[in-house]
Amino acid sequence: MGEGKNLVGVDIGASAIKVAQLKESRKRFQVVRWGFAPLPPQTIIDGHVMNASVVTETLLKLFHDQKIAQRDVAIGVYGQSVIVRKITVPMMTQAELDEQITWEAEQHIPFDIKLMSIDYEVLRKRPEAGQMDLLLVAAKKDEINDYAGLVREAKLRPIVVDINAFTIQNMFEAQYGLPADSTLALINVGAAVTTLNIIAKGVSSFTREITNAGDFVTEEIRKSLGCSYEQAEAYKCGGGPTQIVPQEAQQVILQASATLAGEIQRSLDFYLATSGESEIHRVYLSGGSAYLTPLAQAVEKRARVPVQFFDPMINLTVDNKYVNEPQFRAMAAQMVVALGLGLRREKEQRQWSA
Ligand SMILES: Nc1ncnc2c1ncn2[C@@H]1O[C@H](COP(=O)(O)OP(=O)(O)OP(=O)(O)O)[C@@H](O)[C@H]1O
Ligand SMILES: [Mg+2]
Protein backbone atom coordinates (compact mmCIF):
# COMPACT_ATOMS: atom_id res chain seq x y z
CA MET A 1 0.00 0.00 0.00
CA GLY A 2 2.56 2.62 -0.91
CA GLU A 3 5.82 3.60 0.71
CA GLY A 4 7.17 6.01 3.25
CA LYS A 5 5.90 6.69 6.69
CA ASN A 6 2.30 6.25 7.72
CA LEU A 7 0.11 9.31 7.57
CA VAL A 8 -1.76 10.37 10.70
CA GLY A 9 -5.38 9.26 10.31
CA VAL A 10 -7.81 12.11 10.96
CA ASP A 11 -11.50 11.19 11.24
CA ILE A 12 -13.75 14.20 11.60
CA GLY A 13 -17.08 12.73 12.70
CA ALA A 14 -20.31 14.44 13.63
CA SER A 15 -19.80 13.80 17.34
CA ALA A 16 -16.03 13.79 17.70
CA ILE A 17 -12.66 14.05 16.00
CA LYS A 18 -10.57 10.92 16.23
CA VAL A 19 -6.89 10.74 15.27
CA ALA A 20 -4.49 7.80 15.13
CA GLN A 21 -0.86 7.46 14.20
CA LEU A 22 0.48 4.01 13.35
CA LYS A 23 3.96 2.67 12.83
CA GLU A 24 4.75 -0.57 11.07
CA SER A 25 7.39 -2.82 12.49
CA ARG A 26 7.94 -6.43 11.46
CA LYS A 27 4.72 -6.53 9.46
CA ARG A 28 2.68 -5.48 12.44
CA PHE A 29 1.19 -2.15 13.19
CA GLN A 30 1.59 -0.32 16.42
CA VAL A 31 -0.50 2.61 17.62
CA VAL A 32 2.05 5.26 18.61
CA ARG A 33 -0.30 8.20 19.21
CA TRP A 34 -4.01 8.68 19.32
CA GLY A 35 -6.55 11.25 20.33
CA PHE A 36 -10.25 11.78 20.76
CA ALA A 37 -12.04 15.12 21.16
CA PRO A 38 -15.83 15.55 21.23
CA LEU A 39 -17.34 18.26 19.03
CA PRO A 40 -20.25 20.35 20.30
CA PRO A 41 -23.63 19.36 18.79
CA GLN A 42 -24.45 21.17 15.49
CA THR A 43 -20.76 21.60 14.53
CA ILE A 44 -21.36 19.26 11.60
CA ILE A 45 -24.84 18.85 10.15
CA ASP A 46 -25.63 16.45 7.31
CA GLY A 47 -21.95 16.05 6.59
CA HIS A 48 -21.44 19.80 6.21
CA VAL A 49 -19.15 21.64 8.57
CA MET A 50 -21.20 24.46 10.09
CA ASN A 51 -18.56 25.76 12.41
CA ALA A 52 -15.15 25.55 10.76
CA SER A 53 -13.25 27.33 13.52
CA VAL A 54 -14.37 24.81 16.16
CA VAL A 55 -13.08 21.97 13.97
CA THR A 56 -9.78 23.72 13.30
CA GLU A 57 -9.23 24.62 16.96
CA THR A 58 -10.10 21.11 18.10
CA LEU A 59 -7.63 19.64 15.62
CA LEU A 60 -4.86 22.02 16.69
CA LYS A 61 -5.44 21.18 20.33
CA LEU A 62 -5.57 17.42 19.71
CA PHE A 63 -2.26 17.38 17.85
CA HIS A 64 -0.69 19.59 20.49
CA ASP A 65 -2.02 17.72 23.54
CA GLN A 66 -1.20 14.31 22.14
CA LYS A 67 2.28 15.45 21.09
CA ILE A 68 1.79 14.46 17.47
CA ALA A 69 4.60 16.15 15.60
CA GLN A 70 3.84 14.75 12.17
CA ARG A 71 1.76 17.07 9.98
CA ASP A 72 1.07 14.78 7.00
CA VAL A 73 -2.39 13.32 7.37
CA ALA A 74 -5.02 11.18 5.67
CA ILE A 75 -8.60 12.41 5.95
CA GLY A 76 -11.87 10.62 5.33
CA VAL A 77 -15.00 11.78 3.55
CA TYR A 78 -18.54 10.51 3.45
CA GLY A 79 -20.42 9.51 0.44
CA GLN A 80 -22.67 12.53 -0.19
CA SER A 81 -19.90 14.17 -2.14
CA VAL A 82 -18.82 10.86 -3.61
CA ILE A 83 -20.23 8.52 -6.23
CA VAL A 84 -19.16 4.91 -6.33
CA ARG A 85 -20.03 2.65 -9.27
CA LYS A 86 -19.03 -0.82 -10.30
CA ILE A 87 -18.39 -0.69 -14.05
CA THR A 88 -17.18 -3.05 -16.74
CA VAL A 89 -14.62 -1.96 -19.34
CA PRO A 90 -12.70 -3.77 -22.09
CA MET A 91 -9.42 -5.38 -21.03
CA MET A 92 -6.61 -2.86 -21.23
CA THR A 93 -3.24 -2.06 -19.72
CA GLN A 94 -2.77 0.20 -16.73
CA ALA A 95 -1.46 3.01 -18.96
CA GLU A 96 -4.45 2.72 -21.31
CA LEU A 97 -6.81 2.70 -18.38
CA ASP A 98 -5.26 5.82 -16.85
CA GLU A 99 -5.86 7.53 -20.18
CA GLN A 100 -9.37 6.17 -20.69
CA ILE A 101 -10.75 6.50 -17.21
CA THR A 102 -12.12 10.02 -17.58
CA TRP A 103 -14.03 9.02 -20.69
CA GLU A 104 -15.34 5.90 -18.97
CA ALA A 105 -16.33 7.97 -15.94
CA GLU A 106 -18.28 10.37 -18.14
CA GLN A 107 -20.53 7.50 -19.21
CA HIS A 108 -21.44 6.71 -15.61
CA ILE A 109 -21.29 9.89 -13.58
CA PRO A 110 -24.20 12.32 -13.91
CA PHE A 111 -22.10 15.44 -13.25
CA ASP A 112 -19.66 17.59 -15.19
CA ILE A 113 -16.55 15.43 -15.07
CA LYS A 114 -14.28 18.48 -14.96
CA LEU A 115 -15.65 19.25 -11.52
CA MET A 116 -14.92 15.77 -10.22
CA SER A 117 -11.84 13.94 -8.97
CA ILE A 118 -11.78 10.44 -10.43
CA ASP A 119 -10.18 7.35 -9.01
CA TYR A 120 -10.62 3.63 -9.63
CA GLU A 121 -9.63 0.21 -8.51
CA VAL A 122 -9.50 -2.92 -10.64
CA LEU A 123 -11.76 -5.46 -8.97
CA ARG A 124 -11.46 -8.36 -11.35
CA LYS A 125 -9.91 -9.16 -14.73
CA ARG A 126 -11.83 -11.49 -17.02
CA PRO A 127 -9.52 -12.10 -19.98
CA GLU A 128 -11.78 -14.88 -21.32
CA ALA A 129 -14.53 -12.28 -21.83
CA GLY A 130 -12.08 -9.53 -22.82
CA GLN A 131 -13.40 -7.46 -19.92
CA MET A 132 -12.49 -6.17 -16.52
CA ASP A 133 -14.56 -4.90 -13.61
CA LEU A 134 -13.64 -1.64 -11.95
CA LEU A 135 -14.75 0.24 -8.93
CA LEU A 136 -15.09 3.79 -10.14
CA VAL A 137 -15.02 6.57 -7.57
CA ALA A 138 -15.78 10.20 -8.30
CA ALA A 139 -15.85 13.05 -5.80
CA LYS A 140 -16.82 16.68 -6.16
CA LYS A 141 -13.53 18.59 -6.25
CA ASP A 142 -14.77 21.72 -4.50
CA GLU A 143 -16.22 19.77 -1.57
CA ILE A 144 -13.00 17.84 -1.16
CA ASN A 145 -11.02 21.09 -1.43
CA ASP A 146 -13.17 22.84 1.19
CA TYR A 147 -12.62 19.98 3.52
CA ALA A 148 -8.89 19.77 2.86
CA GLY A 149 -8.72 23.56 3.39
CA LEU A 150 -10.20 23.18 6.83
CA VAL A 151 -7.54 20.67 7.76
CA ARG A 152 -4.82 22.95 6.34
CA GLU A 153 -6.10 25.72 8.61
CA ALA A 154 -5.05 23.47 11.48
CA LYS A 155 -1.51 23.48 10.06
CA LEU A 156 -1.85 19.95 8.72
CA ARG A 157 -1.07 18.65 5.25
CA PRO A 158 -3.78 16.40 3.84
CA ILE A 159 -1.89 13.98 1.58
CA VAL A 160 -4.63 11.42 1.06
CA VAL A 161 -8.42 11.72 0.98
CA ASP A 162 -10.20 8.43 1.46
CA ILE A 163 -13.81 7.32 1.58
CA ASN A 164 -14.95 6.07 4.97
CA ALA A 165 -16.54 2.88 3.64
CA PHE A 166 -13.26 1.78 2.01
CA THR A 167 -11.15 2.93 4.92
CA ILE A 168 -13.14 0.59 7.16
CA GLN A 169 -12.65 -2.20 4.63
CA ASN A 170 -8.87 -1.63 4.60
CA MET A 171 -8.77 -1.79 8.36
CA PHE A 172 -10.86 -4.94 8.34
CA GLU A 173 -8.55 -6.55 5.81
CA ALA A 174 -5.50 -5.64 7.89
CA GLN A 175 -7.05 -7.23 10.98
CA TYR A 176 -9.14 -10.15 9.80
CA GLY A 177 -8.28 -10.61 6.10
CA LEU A 178 -11.04 -10.77 3.50
CA PRO A 179 -12.56 -14.25 3.17
CA ALA A 180 -12.76 -15.46 -0.43
CA ASP A 181 -15.83 -17.61 0.07
CA SER A 182 -18.28 -15.66 2.18
CA THR A 183 -20.25 -12.43 2.14
CA LEU A 184 -19.75 -9.91 4.92
CA ALA A 185 -21.44 -6.65 5.79
CA LEU A 186 -19.23 -4.07 7.45
CA ILE A 187 -21.50 -1.61 9.19
CA ASN A 188 -20.21 1.51 10.94
CA VAL A 189 -22.83 3.21 13.08
CA GLY A 190 -21.64 6.66 14.12
CA ALA A 191 -23.59 9.59 15.52
CA ALA A 192 -25.22 10.90 12.34
CA VAL A 193 -24.39 8.41 9.62
CA THR A 194 -24.45 4.64 9.22
CA THR A 195 -22.03 3.37 6.58
CA LEU A 196 -22.65 0.01 5.00
CA ASN A 197 -20.22 -1.94 2.84
CA ILE A 198 -21.01 -5.44 1.65
CA ILE A 199 -18.02 -7.51 0.67
CA ALA A 200 -18.64 -10.58 -1.44
CA LYS A 201 -15.81 -12.96 -2.36
CA GLY A 202 -13.23 -10.48 -1.12
CA VAL A 203 -14.43 -7.40 -3.03
CA SER A 204 -16.75 -4.55 -2.17
CA SER A 205 -20.07 -5.19 -3.93
CA PHE A 206 -22.34 -2.58 -2.43
CA THR A 207 -21.93 0.55 -0.37
CA ARG A 208 -24.59 2.76 1.10
CA GLU A 209 -24.88 5.52 3.62
CA ILE A 210 -27.93 5.87 5.81
CA THR A 211 -28.23 9.34 7.32
CA ASN A 212 -29.35 8.04 10.67
CA ALA A 213 -27.34 6.65 13.56
CA GLY A 214 -26.70 6.97 17.30
CA ASP A 215 -27.92 10.57 17.56
CA PHE A 216 -31.38 9.37 16.61
CA VAL A 217 -31.51 7.20 19.74
CA THR A 218 -30.32 10.09 21.92
CA GLU A 219 -32.88 12.41 20.38
CA GLU A 220 -35.71 9.92 20.94
CA ILE A 221 -34.76 9.62 24.63
CA ARG A 222 -34.54 13.40 24.98
CA LYS A 223 -37.98 13.89 23.41
CA SER A 224 -39.71 11.12 25.37
CA LEU A 225 -38.27 11.97 28.77
CA GLY A 226 -38.08 15.73 28.25
CA CYS A 227 -34.50 15.74 29.51
CA SER A 228 -31.34 17.45 28.25
CA TYR A 229 -29.27 16.11 25.36
CA GLU A 230 -26.41 15.35 27.78
CA GLN A 231 -28.71 13.42 30.10
CA ALA A 232 -30.19 11.45 27.20
CA GLU A 233 -26.69 10.65 25.92
CA ALA A 234 -25.71 9.44 29.42
CA TYR A 235 -28.78 7.18 29.62
CA LYS A 236 -27.98 5.75 26.23
CA CYS A 237 -24.38 5.01 27.21
CA GLY A 238 -25.34 3.15 30.39
CA GLY A 239 -26.40 5.81 32.85
CA GLY A 240 -23.15 7.63 33.57
CA PRO A 241 -21.62 7.49 37.06
CA THR A 242 -24.86 6.39 38.76
CA GLN A 243 -25.49 3.69 36.13
CA ILE A 244 -29.17 4.17 36.64
CA VAL A 245 -31.26 4.16 33.50
CA PRO A 246 -35.00 4.75 33.96
CA GLN A 247 -37.28 2.05 32.62
CA GLU A 248 -38.79 4.54 30.20
CA ALA A 249 -35.40 5.36 28.70
CA GLN A 250 -34.64 1.66 28.28
CA GLN A 251 -37.90 1.25 26.45
CA VAL A 252 -37.10 4.13 24.09
CA ILE A 253 -33.61 2.73 23.44
CA LEU A 254 -35.12 -0.60 22.43
CA GLN A 255 -37.64 1.04 20.12
CA ALA A 256 -35.15 3.42 18.50
CA SER A 257 -32.66 0.57 18.04
CA ALA A 258 -35.35 -1.46 16.31
CA THR A 259 -36.07 1.46 13.96
CA LEU A 260 -32.39 1.82 13.07
CA ALA A 261 -32.05 -1.93 12.60
CA GLY A 262 -35.07 -1.78 10.27
CA GLU A 263 -33.35 0.83 8.11
CA ILE A 264 -30.19 -1.26 7.97
CA GLN A 265 -32.27 -4.29 7.09
CA ARG A 266 -33.85 -2.50 4.12
CA SER A 267 -30.39 -1.88 2.67
CA LEU A 268 -29.36 -5.50 3.21
CA ASP A 269 -32.60 -6.64 1.55
CA PHE A 270 -31.95 -4.32 -1.39
CA TYR A 271 -28.51 -5.81 -1.83
CA LEU A 272 -29.83 -9.37 -1.69
CA ALA A 273 -32.63 -8.58 -4.15
CA THR A 274 -30.34 -6.93 -6.71
CA SER A 275 -27.03 -8.79 -6.44
CA GLY A 276 -28.15 -12.35 -7.03
CA GLU A 277 -26.35 -13.34 -3.81
CA SER A 278 -28.49 -15.47 -1.54
CA GLU A 279 -26.98 -14.80 1.84
CA ILE A 280 -24.97 -12.47 4.03
CA HIS A 281 -22.94 -14.63 6.39
CA ARG A 282 -21.85 -12.15 9.00
CA VAL A 283 -22.21 -8.54 10.06
CA TYR A 284 -19.32 -6.67 11.68
CA LEU A 285 -20.33 -3.57 13.63
CA SER A 286 -18.04 -0.64 14.28
CA GLY A 287 -18.41 3.04 15.17
CA GLY A 288 -19.33 4.40 18.59
CA SER A 289 -22.86 3.02 18.34
CA ALA A 290 -21.47 -0.50 18.04
CA TYR A 291 -21.32 -0.23 21.85
CA LEU A 292 -25.08 0.11 22.00
CA THR A 293 -25.90 -3.52 22.80
CA PRO A 294 -29.65 -3.30 22.04
CA LEU A 295 -28.77 -2.10 18.53
CA ALA A 296 -26.48 -5.06 17.83
CA GLN A 297 -29.21 -7.36 19.14
CA ALA A 298 -31.86 -5.69 17.01
CA VAL A 299 -29.74 -6.01 13.85
CA GLU A 300 -29.11 -9.67 14.61
CA LYS A 301 -32.79 -10.30 15.17
CA ARG A 302 -33.95 -8.46 12.04
CA ALA A 303 -31.27 -9.72 9.68
CA ARG A 304 -31.05 -13.22 11.15
CA VAL A 305 -27.32 -12.98 10.60
CA PRO A 306 -24.67 -13.29 13.33
CA VAL A 307 -23.52 -9.83 14.37
CA GLN A 308 -20.00 -9.48 15.59
CA PHE A 309 -18.10 -6.60 17.06
CA PHE A 310 -15.38 -5.30 14.72
CA ASP A 311 -12.27 -5.47 16.89
CA PRO A 312 -9.49 -3.47 15.25
CA MET A 313 -7.01 -4.63 17.90
CA ILE A 314 -6.62 -8.24 16.75
CA ASN A 315 -3.42 -7.57 14.91
CA LEU A 316 -2.45 -4.30 16.47
CA THR A 317 -0.19 -3.43 19.38
CA VAL A 318 0.19 -0.14 21.21
CA ASP A 319 3.20 1.89 22.29
CA ASN A 320 2.66 1.85 26.02
CA LYS A 321 4.77 4.94 26.51
CA TYR A 322 2.17 7.17 24.88
CA VAL A 323 -0.93 5.02 24.62
CA ASN A 324 -2.99 3.96 27.61
CA GLU A 325 -3.96 0.53 26.37
CA PRO A 326 -7.13 -0.12 28.44
CA GLN A 327 -8.41 3.34 27.56
CA PHE A 328 -7.72 2.83 23.88
CA ARG A 329 -9.19 -0.67 23.85
CA ALA A 330 -12.38 0.55 25.51
CA MET A 331 -13.17 2.67 22.48
CA ALA A 332 -11.35 0.83 19.72
CA ALA A 333 -14.48 0.22 17.63
CA GLN A 334 -15.04 3.97 17.54
CA MET A 335 -11.45 4.46 16.34
CA VAL A 336 -11.78 2.17 13.30
CA VAL A 337 -11.97 4.96 10.69
CA ALA A 338 -9.04 6.90 12.18
CA LEU A 339 -7.01 3.68 12.36
CA GLY A 340 -7.88 2.76 8.77
CA LEU A 341 -6.80 6.20 7.60
CA GLY A 342 -3.61 5.73 9.62
CA LEU A 343 -2.77 2.72 7.42
CA ARG A 344 -2.30 5.02 4.44
CA ARG A 345 1.21 5.95 3.41
CA GLU A 346 3.00 9.06 2.34
CA LYS A 347 3.92 7.94 -1.13
CA GLU A 348 0.78 6.64 -2.66
CA GLN A 349 0.11 7.49 -6.22
CA ARG A 350 -3.55 8.31 -5.99
CA GLN A 351 -5.35 10.89 -8.03
CA TRP A 352 -7.19 11.77 -4.90
CA SER A 353 -4.22 13.26 -3.21
CA ALA A 354 -5.42 16.64 -2.04
N1 LIG B 1 -20.92 3.12 25.19
C2 LIG B 1 -21.75 3.60 24.26
N3 LIG B 1 -23.04 3.16 24.21
C4 LIG B 1 -23.88 3.64 23.28
N5 LIG B 1 -23.55 4.56 22.35
C6 LIG B 1 -22.29 5.03 22.36
C7 LIG B 1 -21.33 4.57 23.29
N8 LIG B 1 -20.17 5.21 23.05
C9 LIG B 1 -20.40 6.03 22.01
N10 LIG B 1 -21.67 5.92 21.58
C11 LIG B 1 -22.34 6.66 20.50
O12 LIG B 1 -21.56 6.58 19.34
C13 LIG B 1 -21.76 7.75 18.54
C14 LIG B 1 -20.43 8.31 18.15
O15 LIG B 1 -19.76 7.36 17.39
P16 LIG B 1 -18.66 7.76 16.31
O17 LIG B 1 -17.54 8.49 16.97
O18 LIG B 1 -18.31 6.54 15.56
O19 LIG B 1 -19.48 8.78 15.42
P20 LIG B 1 -18.93 10.00 14.57
O21 LIG B 1 -17.82 9.52 13.73
O22 LIG B 1 -18.64 11.16 15.46
O23 LIG B 1 -20.21 10.39 13.74
P24 LIG B 1 -20.53 10.12 12.20
O25 LIG B 1 -19.69 8.98 11.74
O26 LIG B 1 -21.97 9.82 12.15
O27 LIG B 1 -20.17 11.41 11.53
C28 LIG B 1 -22.56 8.73 19.39
O29 LIG B 1 -23.92 8.71 18.96
C30 LIG B 1 -22.42 8.14 20.79
O31 LIG B 1 -23.56 8.40 21.59
MG1 LIG C 1 -17.79 8.43 11.93
236: CATH = 3.30.420.40
Q: What total number of domains does the chain contain?
A: 1
The set of residues, in sequence order, having a beta carbon less than 8 Å from that of 230 and lying 6+ positions away, is none
Report the first-to-last Cα separation within the chain, whole angstroms: 18
In a domain? residue 352: no
Residue 193 CA, closest ligand 1 atom number: 26
* Residue of 15, 253, 336 to mutate, ligand 1, most atoms within 8 A of C-beta: 15
Residue 39 CA, closest ligand 1 atom number: 22
In a domain? residue 42: yes
Q: Please state the pTM of the whole predicted model.
A: 0.92
In a domain? residue 215: yes
Q: Are strands 183-189 and 282-286 parallel, antiparallel or unpaired?
A: parallel
Q: Which domain holds residue 21?
A: 3-227+229-347
How far is residue 22 from each of residues 70, 87, 268, 304, measured CA to CA in Å?
11, 34, 33, 36
In a domain? residue 353: no
In a domain? residue 188: yes
Q: What is the distance between the alpha carbons of residues 148 and 347, in angstroms, rounded to a whole number? A: 18
Which run of H or of E encompasses 185?
strand 183-189
In a domain? residue 72: yes
**Cα 198 to ligand 1 centroid, rounded to whole Å:** 21
In a domain? residue 354: no
Ligand index nearest the alpha carbon of residue 167? 2
Task: State the alpha helices, DSSP H only, in 243-292.
Answer: 247-275
**Torsional class of 46: left (φ above 0), alpha (ψ -120 to 50), beta (otherwise):** left
**If the chain, 354 residues long, is cut into consecutive pieces of 10 residues, what is the mean pLDDT of each piece?**
83 97 89 97 88 96 97 87 86 92 90 89 90 90 88 95 92 94 97 96 91 97 96 91 88 98 97 92 98 97 95 94 95 97 80 42
**Cα 192 to ligand 1 centroid, rounded to whole Å:** 8
In a domain? residue 312: yes
